[in-house]
Amino acid sequence: MPAIVLIFMLALASAPAIIQAGSAQSAPAAGQTYTPKQGMLERKSILDAVRKRLDITSQFSVDHLKINGDWAYFRGNEVFIDGGERQETDLSVAVLLQRRTSSSKQA
Residue 20's pLDDT is 35
Taking only the tens of pLDDT, the chain with its 107 residues reads 455 555 555 544 333 332 333 334 454 666 789 999 999 999 999 999 999 999 999 999 999 999 998 889 999 999 988 888 889 989 999 999 888 776 655 54
For residue 17, give its domain range.
2-104
Q: Measured between alpha carbons, how far is 72 from 32 in angstroms, rounded to an integer? A: 12
Burial 33-49 (b: 16+ CB within 10 A, else e): eeebeeeeebbbbbbeb
Q: Give the burial class of 97: count Cβ atoms within 10 A of its Cβ; 0-12 exposed, 13-18 middle, 19 or more buried.
A: buried
Report the pLDDT value the prediction gives residue 29, as an integer from 0 to 100: 60
Please count the structural domains in the chain: 1
